[in-house]
Amino acid sequence: MNVRDLVPWGRNDRDLAASAGTGAAHPVLTLHREMNRMFDDVLRGFDTPFGAMSRMSGPSLDIDETDTDYRVTAELPGLGKDDVEIMFQDGVLSIRGEKQGEKKEGRALSERWFGRFERRVSLPDADEAGAKADFRDGLLTISLPKTQRARENVRRIPINDASGTTH
């Protein structure tokens, strides 16, 4: 299908395009304009269309891994340690909480997020017994050591020099 088949006017039919500027808009052009406006309203303020989904799902996370442990850092501005709950069960780390909204009379716009959130991270080889958490300046940092079995199962694979071979 050609894209021009979707346009409500062709090269020889300029009546619809001309009438759109005179106030007598064609229903298809009106629908097109309204759909564009609707998507602009929904996605306004987000860097990418997928940015909206990540912001709605909870705080931003950094996950760092070494040979011996994991370090999970969550951004939780405006929250205290009593507002957050951390659980580790069956190899899954869960961070959940709620940010209470402020009600102000006369507020015209609020772009801050409020409400419940939960983030889950699968860390099947983490040792829950050695887990530690620290909350400072709106950053929650959780350290989880790897199990002894996970540390022993790390196998480095040597890389051979293939510069002398031809394909």
Each residue's pLDDT tens digit, 70-101: 999 999 988 888 999 999 999 999 999 988 87
The Cα–Cα gap between 9 and 90 comes to 60
Residue 157: CB atoms within 10 Å: 5
Cβ 83 vs Cβ 62: under 8 Å: no
* pLDDT band of 109, cuts 50, 70, 90: confident
Query: What ranges do the domains of the chain cover?
Result: 3-43, 59-100+115-152
50/166: higher pLDDT: 166
59-100+115-152 is a CATH 3.30.1020.10 domain: no
Lookup result for tokens 């009600």: 103
The Cα–Cα gap between 34 and 6 comes to 17
Identify the DSSP state of 7.
S
Which is it for the CA torsion 57, 60, 66, 69, positive or negative?
A: negative
